[in-house]
Amino acid sequence: MKIVLRTCIFSIALFFCLNSLFAQTNQASDKYKRIDTTITMRDGIKLFTVIYIPKQTTEKLPFLMLRTPYGVKGYPSPEKQEYVKDMAEDGYIFVFQDIRGRYLSGGTFEMQRFNRDKSKKNSIDEASDTYDTIDWLLKNIPNNNGNAGIYGISYDGWTSIIAATDPHPALKAVSEQATPADMYLTDDFHHNGAFRLSYGFEYAVLTEASKTDSLYNFGQYDTYDWYLKLGELANINKKYAHGTLPTWNNYVAHPNYDDFWQKQALAFRLDKPRTAIQHVSGWWDQEDMVGPQTAYQVLEKQDKNHQNFIVLGPWRHGGWAGGEGNSLGNIKFDGQATGTYFRKEIQAKWFAWYLKGKGDGKFAEAISFQTGSNKWMNYTAWPPKEAQEKNIYFHTDGKLSFEKPAAIEINDFDSYVSDPAKPVPYRQRPVEETYGPGSRWYTWLTDDQRFVDNRPDVLTWQTDTLTNDVTITGDVIAKLYAATSGTDADWVVKLIDVYPQDYKKELKMSGYELMISEEVFRGRFRNSFTNPEPITPDKVELYTIDLHAADHVFKKGHKIMVQVQSTWFPIIDRNPQKYVPNIFEAKDADYQKAIQKVYHSINFSSSIVLPVVEK
């Protein structure tokens, strides 16, 4: 059986939030002249490029570039693109380019292409393609001021940060937004070694089954059932892909954190800021929330000239690129137009300073929209140094408190049966195709978690009603003492803000359970992501799980909740719970039930380490 595709309209295909904003006909512009051209790279490959030049200007202008695998032919004039409208009104020469091997550009596409071997003449990578493009623009487009900037979201954010690893001297400012940083540890395809099944398969089909974006035809609306009936992961190639998807084949060939994944990771590709860099991340980014924070942290270690900045907002993946941004899913931000604010007050002013010298050049090291309090905060470091680590502990009878378990607890653990045949859905069903019609993928991280409250395979602990605000700003860490009857296990931990049961401010939000931080950890990697090991059955072990950063106020009258489970399907593939060397090669018979125990005794005190800021 061959993969069956259906071509997407832009509003469905662009999962990284760009083409959906630009999906309109190329209307004539009174302000910008459009030039469609190809630019020849050092190896002779030609890249399709759209250039918009202001028709009237009294000054020489810098270039603003976006390089993407998602197709630029349909991009309208920049003053009609909400994402860059504020900058377009100020005047730039805009450059949009198909990266090699995609849409109208020549060459071969490679997912997150490795760095080139500079010892080989005319070797190429995304940095060299950016360099060659800028060099051509400087020589061929008149009335430029000699400066260039690059920006973009997700894959386009990745091409932006990669451009900064070996920049053209004219590249003065880079705004990477939602870049993936590590596809094995934190971003799109894996989290802590746990494979992101539905996203990983559907993305591979989308980008590699044809040169232009196409969706997979599941033949049914609820993909939860499709993935469950799929059975062992080997069936992807046996029944559907037949070895035609290079990215899927790489998943299978590299189940552990080997050189293949490490060479792609930004921690191995970045050394120091070579130009001004702005990192942009969304608190509820369903694809690459961690990537920009990782990129910021790697570069911050060598930022001697104060040119490394980070912006964190209350957004889904790319949510700052369009719309007011005063809500996300069911969550409202007290009328704060966070998207509008970012585009006008942060992004536009940042590029104006570094490319035009306009403004005062005074930018906070870290700008964060603090959720819960719903206000913008400026910090001199990220994470802020004033936060103090405080453990909030699990107790008997589902209690959660800042007091450590006493010597005597009625029970020293809670348990559940994890059954791979009945996995916990990661969002309320139906689970639509990730980028398909009507998909709720974009806001699932803000979904009400009460939909799993009554499942016997989900454990819950919560505090009493808070009598004071609790503010957390910085990294959240789970310290989970747990045991399994199997030889492998996944642990999913969710930190949740529980709204009051009678929430007068908005009654329909009463009792709402909002995830603030969450993550999955594959137990086989507890000692090493490179060299996995079986778990000893029924042995209590400590799993330290990075739930990543948050800037949130649990308001007085709310409760703090923690949920723990072992399946999160189909965003995370099912762990067989029986150790096999490569889960992609596991057989259906390897999947088995397991009894999971989470401990909260004086000796095994499971907790969440919170970065508390005292007011």
More confidently predicted of 46 and 411: 46
Give the mean pLDDT of 427-452.
96
More confidently predicted of 218 and 214: 218
With CA atoms as reference, report the closest residue to 176 among 309, 25, 34.
309
Name the band, by pLDDT with cuts 50, 70 and 90, for residue 6. very low
Q: Is residue 279 pLDDT above 70, yes or no?
A: yes
Q: What is the pTM of this model?
A: 0.94
Cα separation, 180 vs 178, whole angstroms: 6
Q: What single-letter DSSP state applies at residue 99? A: P
User: pLDDT tens digits, residue range 452-477?
Assistant: 999 999 999 999 999 999 999 999 99
DSSP assignment of 166-190: S--TTEEEEEEES----TTTTSTTE
Q: ω into residue 383 within 30 of 0, thus cis?
A: yes
Neighbours of 501 (CB within 10 A): 11
Q: Do 395 and 462 contact (CB within 8 A), yes or no?
A: no
Question: What domains does the chain contain, in order, with CATH numbers?
Answer: 5-181+265-325+334-370 (3.40.50.1820), 388-612 (2.60.120.260)
Structure confidence at residue 211 (pLDDT): 64
DSSP assignment of 467-482: SS-EEEEEEEEEEEEE
Strand pairing partners for 371? 552
pLDDT, the chain, mean = 94
Give the mean pLDDT of 312-319.
98
With CA atoms as reference, report the closest residue to 565 among 423, 421, 397.
423
Q: Is residue 396 pLDDT above 90, yes or no?
A: yes
With CA atoms as reference, report the closest residue to 565 among 492, 495, 615, 498.
492
Cα separation, 312 vs 282, whole angstroms: 6
Structure confidence at residue 20 (pLDDT): 41
With CA atoms as reference, report the closest residue to 32 among 85, 73, 71.
85
Structure confidence at residue 409 (pLDDT): 61
Q: Is 113 helix (H, G, I), strand (E, B) or coil?
A: coil
Structure confidence at residue 9 (pLDDT): 29
User: pLDDT tens digits, residue range 43-87?
Assistant: 999 999 999 999 999 999 999 999 999 999 999 999 999 999 999
With CA atoms as reference, report the closest residue to 198 among 577, 574, 591, 592.
574
Q: Which token pair is 328? A: 């996300």
CA 56 to the chain's CA centroid: 39
User: pLDDT tens digits, residue range 545-593?
Assistant: 999 999 999 999 999 999 999 999 999 999 999 999 999 999 999 999 9
Residues 6 or more apart whose CB falls under 8 angstroms from that of 118 comprise none
Per DSSP bridges, beta strands 276-282 and 308-313 are parallel
Give the mean pLDDT of 202-231.
87
Structure confidence at residue 410 (pLDDT): 64
Cα separation, 106 vs 299, whole angstroms: 33
DSSP assignment of 399-462: BEESSPP-S--S-SEEEEEE-TTSPPBSSSSP---TTSTT--GGGGGGSBGGGGTT-TTEEEEE
User: pLDDT tens digits, residue range 90-117?
Assistant: 999 999 999 999 999 999 999 899 999 9
Q: What single-letter DSSP state applies at residue 499? A: P
Q: ω into residue 430 within 30 of 0, thus cis?
A: yes
Q: Is 86 helix (H, G, I), strand (E, B) or coil?
A: helix
User: What are the two backbone dihedrals, phi and then psi, of residue 476, each rounded to the nearest 5 degrees?
Assistant: -110, 130
Q: Is residue 347 pLDDT above 90, yes or no?
A: yes
Give Cα separations from 246 to 6, 250, 263, 572 (angstroms): 20, 6, 17, 20
Give Cα separations from 489 to 267, 518, 533, 597 (angstroms): 28, 17, 11, 11
User: pLDDT tens digits, residue range 8-41?
Assistant: 323 333 433 444 444 444 556 889 999 999 999 9
Per DSSP bridges, beta strands 388-394 and 400-401 are antiparallel
User: pLDDT tens digits, residue range 590-608?
Assistant: 999 999 999 999 999 999 9
User: pLDDT tens digits, residue range 159-169?
Assistant: 999 999 999 99
Q: Which token pair is 406? A: 């006493």
Percent of the chain with pLDDT over 90: 91
Give the mean pLDDT of 268-288.
97
Structure confidence at residue 269 (pLDDT): 95
Structure confidence at residue 11 (pLDDT): 31
Structure confidence at residue 14 (pLDDT): 40
Give Cα separations from 383 to 366, 368, 388, 590 (angstroms): 9, 10, 11, 42
Give the mean pLDDT of 512-532.
98
